[in-house]
Every structure is written in structure tokens, then in C-alpha cells.
């Protein structure tokens, strides 16, 4: 690169084929399991104390996806009919060349069905459609969502080792994109990952806490909300819930601690960005009822936690005129009564503790209290 440009260029993306985000839905186990339960949207309304009103009316939400989305679009309609939910208008926004890839359909089903399922009266669902999961294509997709500025909240249930994201320029470039989104009052919810306090490199088997120690990006970005996972044991919250052993979390190796985390307390070590910020059910043993390819199935992972929090945030925005801005500023200002503090469980090696921890962040939502206190 010409030396004269060095002061104006922070990163160059697109010269490496190494960087690619990984999808993280975890299929429910077959046969006998310890907690053989699964949940639909109305079950989560009940478990997490969602109010009958304030259901997202007037809000536009976005899901960042990839490939041929014709089947997920049809599956959302089937899901709405199955669970007696209103029809949410779907608009696909391509961010590159058309793709025939359908390998991520279960992910896009989970994202669209549970973002709208937790905020059933949102006015519009924008589904951004990238041609691949490569870092340059995802960067272009996120930039399109931010520069469009049509949806104040979005979900992206994928990620990669932050060290890999940094090595090809994706982390630096995408942080700038997301920082612009924060300045515009936008929030990206993103899955903390399903390999515990490890990122999906070397081993990288979803649902298994093993791999390269480190957090996932973009969950580790200070300009995004990282969502961790729990296991619902049954019974009322919070006693009926523990930290999920494979839910992503830990301290970033690269991102500085944001101001909103500086006084969170709990088991936060400080100095670096902590992940996750909040949590929601994720264990496939207490998984999400999803329609995939027209058929009912059960899927788990923080891939479901993240879009669920998108729906919760859309409810919260709707109750406050859509003017709350970046969600983490609200999340860390909320009283402890807005959350179910999860104090049991571990994602190897971090334990769930009183207050903030690297398994469930501030905890899972008491939705009615969270909305009221925002």
C-alpha cells in the first residue's frame, strides 16, 4: 500500500480466504436426555415473564442471513400458523450476488422464528442476504444494515475466533461499522457461541466446550450485544435455570473493556471486554421448537438465545418510543431485579456466580421488569 495512504487506512479486507464465520445451531439429542423438554414462543413468554402488552408494535427488526432463503421464508409462515402468531411482513434485502446455498436454513429458521416469536407484533422483518459467510461478504452485509438505518435492532447468530477475525482485517473494519450503528442508535445482537470459553478453531464442535481458548467475534465487539446460554431445568425462573456448559463466554484478548462494563462487578476481571452481556435458554436439551423445511424439529444453541433477545429488545423499544439507542447502555444500567441472576453452572472454566459472570452475563430476562425499568 502506498505510504501516503497509511494514515487513512486501518485495515484491508478481502485479500485472505481464511476468515469465515461459523453457524452455531445445535441439534437436539436423540434418545433419552437429562431434561427432555423443548419450548415454543409462548412457553418462553411465560417462563421469562413477558407482559401481555408491549409486544413490539411499530418496530422494524432485521436478521442477517445468507444463501437461498425461500425455505426459511415459507417456514416462518408455517411457524406463525402453528403457534397462532400474527403474520410479520418479510422483506429480503440482497447484499451481493444470489446464492443457492441452503446449508444454513435451520439457523435462519431459528433466527426469524424466535426474533418475531418473542415480539409477535413487530411491523416488519428485514432479512439481509449475503452471498456467503466469508468475512468480506459479512462485512458488506453488516455495512448495508447500518447504512440503510431502517432497523434499529438486528441479529447475527454466527461468529469466529476473534484472533482469526483480527488477522484478516475483519475485526477492525467491522468494529468501525458497528460503532457507526451505535452512534445511530442501532444494536446488533449476536451469539456468544456454543463451544464454552473456547472459539471454534482446532476442535470447533458445537455443543462441546473445547477448542482454542478465546471469545467469538462479533460477540466480543464492544459495539454489539453478546448473548450467552442457559439450561432450563423446569420450574419457575430463576431457580429452574442454570448456566449451559457450552455457552460462549470469557474475556476478549483484543477488545478493551467498554465503559458500560467498568463497574458491573460480579466476577468481571476488568481490563478487557467481557462476554456475554446477557443470556437466554440455549441448551438443546431444553431447546427451541422450530419449523425447518416444513417439519417440526428441536434446535438449541446461543443461535436461539440471540434472536430471542432481539425480540425482547424490540418489545422494550416499542414501550419507550423506539428511542433507547444502543442496548448495552440500557442493559448495564438496569437494576438487578430486571434479570434472573444465574448462580449455578459453568462453561469451562468460568463458573456462574452472583452478579455478572462469563457464563450468563447479567443473567436472563425478567421481561416485564426489564421493559419497565428501561
Q: Which residues contact 8 (CB under 8 A, 6 or more apart)?
A: none
Q: Check which CATH number belongs to the domain holding 93 and give it.
A: 3.40.50.200
Residues facing residue 124 across a β-bridge: 60
pLDDT of residue 30: 52
The band of 29, judged by pLDDT with boundaries at 50, 70 and 90, is low
pLDDT of residue 202: 60
For residue 6, being part of any structural domain is answered with no
Cβ-based neighbour number of residue 194 at 10 Å? 33
For residue 12, being part of any structural domain is answered with no
For residue 10, being part of any structural domain is answered with no
pLDDT of residue 301: 95
pLDDT of residue 33: 40
pLDDT of residue 242: 96
Q: Supply the Cα-derived Rg of the chain in whole angstroms.
A: 19
Task: State the average pLDDT over residues 166-188.
Answer: 97
**What element of type H or E holds 253?**
strand 250-256
CA geometry: angle at 306 spanning 274 and 137, to 5°?
90
In the three-class reduction of DSSP (H, G, I as helix; E, B as strand; rest coil), residue 78 is classed as: helix
Q: CA-to-CA distance for 46 and 290, rounded, in angstroms?
A: 18
Q: What is the DSSP letter of 49?
A: T
Higher pLDDT, 7 or 273: 273
Joined together, the cell numbers standing for residue 300 give: 438449541
Q: In degrees rounded to 5, what are phi and psi of residue 19?
A: -80, 125
Task: State the average pLDDT over residues 342-349.
Answer: 94
pLDDT of residue 36: 46
Q: Which residues contact 6 (CB under 8 A, 6 or more apart)?
A: none
Q: CA-to-CA distance for 205 and 87, rounded, in angstroms?
A: 35
pLDDT of residue 203: 57
Q: What's the whole-model pTM score?
A: 0.95
The band of 23, judged by pLDDT with boundaries at 50, 70 and 90, is confident
Q: Which residues contact 298 (CB under 8 A, 6 or more apart)?
A: 27, 28, 38, 284, 287, 288, 289, 290
Q: CA-to-CA distance for 326 and 218, rounded, in angstroms?
A: 15
Task: State the average pLDDT over residues 181-190.
Answer: 98
For residue 309, being part of any structural domain is answered with yes
For residue 153, being part of any structural domain is answered with yes
Q: CA-to-CA distance for 33 and 196, rounded, in angstroms?
A: 20
Answer whether 241's CB lies under 8 Å from 364's CB: yes
196-230 pLDDT, tens per residue? 999 877 655 667 777 788 999 999 999 999 999 99
Query: Which of 214, 213, 196 is CA-nearest to residue 205?
Result: 196
pLDDT > 70 fraction of the chain, expressed in percent and rounded: 95
Residues facing residue 174 across a β-bridge: none
Residues facing residue 155 across a β-bridge: 63, 189
Joined together, the cell numbers standing for residue 66 give: 445468507
Q: CA-to-CA distance for 133 and 108, rounded, in angstroms?
A: 13
Residue 84 burial by CB count (10 A; 0-12/13-18/19+): exposed, middle or buried?
exposed
Query: Which of 125, 153, 283, 171 is CA-nearest to residue 225?
Result: 153
Mean pLDDT over the full length of the chain: 93
Structural domain count, the chain: 1
Does residue 351 have a pLDDT over 80?
Answer: yes
The band of 32, judged by pLDDT with boundaries at 50, 70 and 90, is very low
Q: What is the DSSP letter of 338?
A: G
For residue 3, being part of any structural domain is answered with no
| Residue 155: domain span | 23-373
pLDDT of residue 137: 97
Query: Which of 132, 87, 137 is CA-nearest to residue 112?
Result: 87
Interior/surface letters 22-52, b for 16+ CB within 10 angstroms, e for the rest:
bbbbbebeeeeeeeebbbbbebbbebbebee
Amino acid at each position: 500500500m502506498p505510504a501516503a495512504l497509511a494514515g487513512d487506512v486501518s485495515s484491508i479486507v478481502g485479500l485472505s480466504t481464511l476468515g469465515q464465520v461459523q453457524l452455531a445451531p445445535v441439534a437436539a439429542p436423540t434418545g433419552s436426555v437429562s431434561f427432555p423438554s423443548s419450548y415454543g414462543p409462548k412457553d418462553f413468554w411465560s417462563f421469562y415473564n413477558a407482559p401481555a402488552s408491549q409486544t413490539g408494535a411499530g418496530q422494524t427488526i432485521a436478521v442477517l442471513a445468507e444463501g437461498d432463503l425461500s425455505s426459511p421464508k415459507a417456514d416462518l409462515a408455517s411457524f406463525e400458523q402453528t403457534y397462532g402468531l400474527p403474520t410479520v411482513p418479510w422483506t429480503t434485502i440482497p447484499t451481493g450476488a444470489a446464492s443457492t446455498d441452503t446449508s444454513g436454513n435451520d439457523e435462519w429458521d431459528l433466527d426469524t422464528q424466535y426474533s418475531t416469536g418473542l415480539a409477535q407484533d413487530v411491523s416488519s422483518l428485514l432479512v439481509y442476504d449475503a452471498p456467503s459467510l466469508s468475512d468480506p461478504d459479512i462485512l458488506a452485509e453488516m455495512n448495508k444494515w447500518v447504512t440503510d438505518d431502517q432497523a434499529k435492532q438486528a441479529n447475527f447468530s454466527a461468529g469466529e475466533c476473534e484472533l482469526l477475525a483480527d488477522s484478516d482485517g475483519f475485526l477492525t473494519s467491522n468494529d468501525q461499522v458497528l460503532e457507526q450503528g451505535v452512534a445511530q442508535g442501532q444494536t446488533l445482537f449476536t451469539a456468544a457461541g456454543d463451544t464454552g470459553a473456547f472459539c471454534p478453531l482446532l476442535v470447533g464442535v458445537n455443543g462441546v466446550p473445547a477448542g482454542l481458548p478465546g471469545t467469538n467475534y462479533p460477540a466480543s465487539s464492544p459495539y454489539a450485544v453478546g448473548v450467552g446460554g442457559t439450561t432450563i431445568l423446569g420450574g419457575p425462573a430463576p431457580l429452574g435455570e442454570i448456566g449451559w456448559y457450552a455457552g460462549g463466554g470469557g474475556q476478549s484478548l483484543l477488545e478493551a473493556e467498554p465503559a458500560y462494563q467498568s463497574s458491573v462487578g460480579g466476577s468481571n476481571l476488568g481490563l478487557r471486554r467481557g462476554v456475554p452481556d446477557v443470556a437466554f435458554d440455549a441448551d438443546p436439551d431444553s431447546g427451541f421448537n422450530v419449523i425447518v423445511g416444513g417439519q417440526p424439529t428441536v434446535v438449541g444453541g446461543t443461535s436461539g438465545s440471540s434472536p430471542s433477545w432481539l425480540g425482547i429488545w424490540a418489545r422494550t423499544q416499542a414501550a419507550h418510543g423506539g428511542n433507547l439507542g444502543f442496548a448495552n447502555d440500557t442493559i448495564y444500567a438496569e437494576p438487578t431485579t430486571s434479570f434472573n441472576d444465574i448462580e449455578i453452572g459453568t462453561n469451562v472454566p468460568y463458573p456462574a456466580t452472583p452478579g455478572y459472570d462469563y457464563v450468563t452475563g447479567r443473567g436472563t430476562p425478567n421481561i416485564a421488569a426489564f421493559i419497565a425499568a428501561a
